[in-house]
C-alpha cells in the first residue's frame, strides 16, 4: 500500500519557522536553524543558506503551502522569494521555550566573551575574565536581543559597562613603514588618530610603532594607501594592550 502525499504538502525536518500574520491570515517560511539571526544582522547574505525552500506556507509543520490568491491578497504579489524575504525580516521566529532559553544563554556568553577579548581595565591594562563580564552584564540587567548579532550587542554592552566600571577597548598595536619623503608629512595627519607612539626609526624609510583605537584602523589604512600611493605598509602587531607576561590575544 502506497502512502499518498497531497501536492500542496511539503515535509521538512530540522527547521526553524518564521511566522507573519497579514490580511487576517498566517504565513510561514521554513529556515535553517541559527541562520535567521545571521541574515537579519547582515552576516549571511546568501538566501539559499537561510531558506530550506523558497515556498510560503500556511503551516510548515503540516507541510501546507499557501494559496496563490492568498499571497496576492496579502502581499500584492505571488513572487514567493520576495515574500520569503519580507517574512524573514519582519516575521517572528517560532522556537520552543527551552530552545529560546538555550539560545539566549549562549548569546549572552558569546557577547561576554567578545567584550572580555576586546577590552581591558584602563588602569591596570589587564583583561577582564568572561565570568566577571557576565556578572557585570547581569548587574546592569542586560537583555539579549535575538535579532541583533553578538558583535553589535558587544559594542552596546561596552558602552553601558563604561558607566558602571573601568573598562575600555584594548588598543591595537601597529607598525607603519612609510617612504621618508611622504612620511614626515603623513605623520602629522596620522597623529590625531594615534593614541601613543611607542617608537620611531628614521632610516631609508620611516618606521613607527604605535597604539590606536581599533575603530580608527580603517581610516589609518586608507590614509596611508592614499598618501603614499601604495608604497607605505601597515602591519597589525597585536590587538591586546596587556602588560608583559600576560597572555596575548590575536
pLDDT at 147: 75
- Sorted by sequence, the CB contacts under 8 Å of residue 179 that are 6+ apart come out as 205, 206, 228, 231, 232
Q: 92-94 and 168-169: which strand pairing?
A: unpaired
Neighbours of 70 (CB within 10 A): 17
pTM: 0.53
pLDDT at 12: 61
pLDDT at 13: 58
- Interatomic CA distance for residues 156 and 172, integer angstroms: 20
Furthest C-alpha separation in the chain: 87
pLDDT at 4: 39
- Taken in order of first residue, the domains within the chain and their CATH numbers are 16-94 (3.30.1250.10), 97-168 (1.10.10.900), 171-238 (3.30.70.240)
pLDDT in tens, the chain (250 residues): 444 344 455 566 568 899 999 999 999 999 987 788 888 878 889 999 999 999 999 999 888 999 999 999 999 999 999 999 999 999 988 877 787 788 899 999 999 999 998 898 988 878 899 999 999 999 999 999 887 889 899 999 999 999 999 998 888 888 988 888 777 788 888 888 888 888 888 888 888 899 888 778 888 888 888 888 888 888 888 765 443 333 333 3
pLDDT at 48: 93
Amino acid at each position: 500500500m502506497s502512502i499518498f502525499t497531497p501536492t500542496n504538502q511539503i515535509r521538512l525536518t530540522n527547521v526553524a519557522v518564521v511566522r507573519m500574520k497579514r490580511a487576517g491570515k498566517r504565513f510561514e517560511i521554513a529556515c535553517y536553524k541559527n541562520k535567521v539571526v545571521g541574515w537579519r544582522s547582515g552576516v549571511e547574505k546568501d538566501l539559499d543558506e537561510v531558506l530550506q525552500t523558497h515556498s510560503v506556507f500556511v503551516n510548515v509543520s503540516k507541510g501546507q503551502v499557501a494559496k496563490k490568491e492568498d499571497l496576492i491578497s496579502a502581499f500584492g504579489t505571488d513572487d514567493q522569494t520576495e515574500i520569503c524575504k519580507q517574512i524573514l525580516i519582519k516575521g517572528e521566529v517560532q522556537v520552543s521555550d527551552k530552545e529560546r532559553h538555550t539560545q539566549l544563554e549562549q548569546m549572552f556568553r558569546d557577547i561576554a566573551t567578545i567584550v572580555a577579548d576586546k577590552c581591558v581595565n584602563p588602569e591596570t591594562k589587564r583583561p577582564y575574565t568572561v565570568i566577571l563580564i557576565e556578572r557585570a552584564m547581569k548587574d546592569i540587567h542586560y537583555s539579549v536581543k535575538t535579532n541583533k548579532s553578538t558583535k553589535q550587542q558587544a559594542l552596546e554592552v561596552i558602552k553601558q559597562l563604561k558607566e558602571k566600571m573601568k573598562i575600555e577597548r584594548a588598543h591595537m598595536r601597529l607598525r607603519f613603514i612609510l617612504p621618508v619623503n611622504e612620511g614626515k608629512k603623513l605623520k602629522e595627519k596620522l597623529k590625531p588618530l594615534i593614541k601613543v607612539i611607542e617608537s620611531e626609526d628614521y632610516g631609508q624609510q620611516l618606521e613607527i610603532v604605535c597604539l590606536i583605537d581599533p575603530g580608527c584602523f580603517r581610516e589609518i589604512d586608507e590614509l596611508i594607501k592614499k598618501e603614499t600611493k601604495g608604497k607605505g605598509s601597515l602591519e597589525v602587531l597585536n590587538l591586546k594592550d596587556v602588560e608583559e607576561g600576560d597572555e596575548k590575544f590575536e
